[in-house]
Amino acid sequence: MQTFEKDITNLEQLPSVAKELLTAFPQARVFAFYAEMGAGKTTFIKALCEELSALDVVNSPTFAIINEYRTKHHQPIFHFDFYRLKNLREACDLGCEEYFYSGNYCFLEWAELVEPLLPQHFLKIEIAVSDSKTRRISATQTG
């Protein structure tokens, strides 16, 4: 099982860590983020989208639940924030599974709320807060 682990002590490190993660898991398309509130999920997703050449402004889809961004190659990137989801039925009604199996990049904040809907193979990313400046980003390919 392939794993990835990096400590980040400043925001300037995010672009290189995002590039390393995408390079380490070139086949991964569903990225499920697990972290406490304020740990930096959205900030790291912004770095990943920038590395994938997203043309749109990347921000948290807290109220919309899903944002779609386009890359310079006209490929979609889907960014989910399931924090406000009341139940799995809401995720099903949004057609989440269609996105997850689309072959496009999907970045999922609060993925634990939709775990039963996730494909067998997804990248589990955990962001642990070590102190006010340090985050440990760990990734493991499931399935």
Q: For residue 119, what are its two tokens?
A: 């494909």
Identity at 132, one-letter amino acid code: S
- Give pLDDT, residue 138: 97
- Give pLDDT, residue 131: 86
Which domains are assigned to the chain?
3-141 (3.40.50.300)
- Give pLDDT, residue 143: 85
When pLDDT is cut at 50, 70 and 90, the band that residue 10 belongs to is: very high
pLDDT exceeds cutoff 80 at 140: yes
| Residue 26 phi, psi (nearest 5) | -65, -25
DSSP code, position 10: S
Q: For 107-134, how does the pLDDT look when each residue is reduced to its tens digit (9 = 90+)?
A: 999 999 999 999 999 999 999 998 888 9
Q: For 27-85, how does the pLDDT look when each residue is reduced to its tens digit (9 = 90+)?
A: 999 999 999 999 999 999 999 999 999 999 998 888 889 999 999 999 999 999 999 99
- Enter the pTM of the model: 0.95
- Give pLDDT, residue 32: 98
Angle 21-24-27 (CA atoms, 0-180°, nearest 5)? 100
| Residue 108 phi, psi (nearest 5) | -115, 115
